[in-house]
Homo-oligomer: A and B are copies of this chain.
Amino acid sequence: MIDLNKFNDIYLQLEAAILEKKYLPGELLPSENELSKQFQASRETIRKALALLLENGYIQKQQGKGSIVLDVNRFVFPVAGLTSFKELQESQKMPSQTIVTKNQTGPISKPLMERLHLPKETQVISLERVRKIQGEAVILDYDFLLADVISDIPNEVAEDSIYDYIENDLGLTISYAQKEITVEPVTKQDKELLDLNGDSHVVVVRSDVYMQDTTLFQYTESRHRMDKFRFVEFARRKQV
């Protein structure tokens, strides 16, 4: 019941209440003062919990009126916030399989060196993985991890989730990423490793991933068959 943070705990309770339809879409949540009494918390703490609900698209606030519960049937495919293949796959519950086609440590390649502004002595772990969904090879993942941060990745881990391993087993904290989505012509390797059905292009998602201390530690390139790619985002308009 009790979480590390009071406001996070309150957030989780309110989220659960909304998902259980104790508050229906279009209805108002109790006022901040009311919640303040209910949860035995100060109003600022309640407001922090509500800020999380707002950010995640559960409510919309209106001054003078209250917090309106939004319709959350849209929660099909939340790809915001660094979601990895493993997390996607879990939320999708699709039968899937990962084949590790490469897992080796060596000096950094020149293009990667230039892209990430790293010295040429840098050692990197290179991963290459093919993701199959329902028997079809539809995603090709390249990962490059700095070897001085992560010494090596066991193959069993590469078949599962490297994030899980890094965060839970190694105790490192991944903090943020810079992502880019483009559509590019297929390469020879795409044709070899993916079931492309003659497609001319693939969707390419590139990410630079950083640790909490702001050091770069991973570069990922994820190449998706066009028809299997979908990106969904809940975006709030910047209020200037």
List chain A positions with a Cβ less than 8 A from chain B. Answer: 26, 44, 57, 60, 62, 68, 70, 74, 80-82, 174-183, 199-201, 203, 210, 212-214, 226-227, 229-238
Contacts and interface: CB of A to CB of B under 8 A. Distances in A.
Contact of A183 (B80, B178, B213, B229): B229
Please report whether the interface of chain A is mostly helix, strand, loop or mixed according to DSSP: strand
Instruction: Give this chain's copy count.
Output: 2
Contacts of A181: 181, 229-233
A166 to B, nearest CB: 11
A230 B204 CA distance: 10
A117 to B, nearest CB: 9
Contact of A230 (B180, B234, B236): B180
Contacts of A226: 183, 201
15 contacts: A60-B214, A62-B212, A62-B213, A70-B214, A82-B238, A174-B237, A176-B234, A176-B237, A178-B233, A178-B235, A181-B230, A181-B233, A183-B226, A199-B200, A201-B201
